[in-house]
Amino acid sequence: MLGAAATPAVAQSDNLVQPAVLVADASLSKQALDAQALAASRYGTFWNTGDEAMARQALAPTFLDKTLPGGRAQGIEGVLAASKAFRSAVPDLHCEIRQMIVAGDRVVTHLHFTGHFTGTLMGKQGQGQDIDFIATDIYRIAKGRIVENWHLEDNLSLLQQAGLAAR
């Protein structure tokens, strides 16, 4: 059974991005809930700040991206490279966790990204366009770290806002 819960105390103490809404499996212990939410909050904070240390704390050394985009390296290094490339296009990138659902060894996050396209993306120079899109991630967590991630971004909105796809 799932129910709304307060944001875990562990995550609050680290100045991490907090979910606006947290829904948790009522059968999880507080310790398990805190560990799952902490890993997801660290990963959200990484996307919000670009802080490599947050990614390394959130992701297991054996991390696998199960929906790996073409051309991206697998594992932590691929995630770090993707963030760096995207931040070069949208230097003021902001990520918030609108919803977090914790059940068993899985965490689902509904993410909201905003910023301004002032760098270069796919060979196009930004002109300060507003960027505003969502993503949904499903994490499998073991020993307090994300070991697998399935994700889907609203890339069509992103490309349209950047002027790289017709509206």
pLDDT single digits (tens) 69-127: 999 999 999 999 999 999 999 999 999 999 999 999 999 999 999 999 999 999 999 99
Confidence tier at 16 by pLDDT (50, 70, 90): very high
DSSP string across 51-64: -HHHHHHHEEEEEE
Any bridge partners for residue 27, and if so which?
A: none
Q: Are 72 and 82 in contact (CB under 8 A)?
A: yes
Question: Which of the 8 DSSP states describes residue 68?
Answer: P
Torsion of CA 99, 20, 69, 139, to 10 degrees: -60
Any bridge partners for residue 107, and if so which?
A: 102, 139
Q: What's phi and psi for 105, nearest 5 deg?
A: -95, 15
- Per the document, the length of the chain is 167
Specify the pTM: 0.92
User: Left if phi > 0, otherwise alpha if psi is -120 to 50, otherwise beta: which for 121?
Assistant: beta
pLDDT more than 70, % of the chain: 92
Torsion of CA 157, 161, 166, 167, to 10 degrees: 70
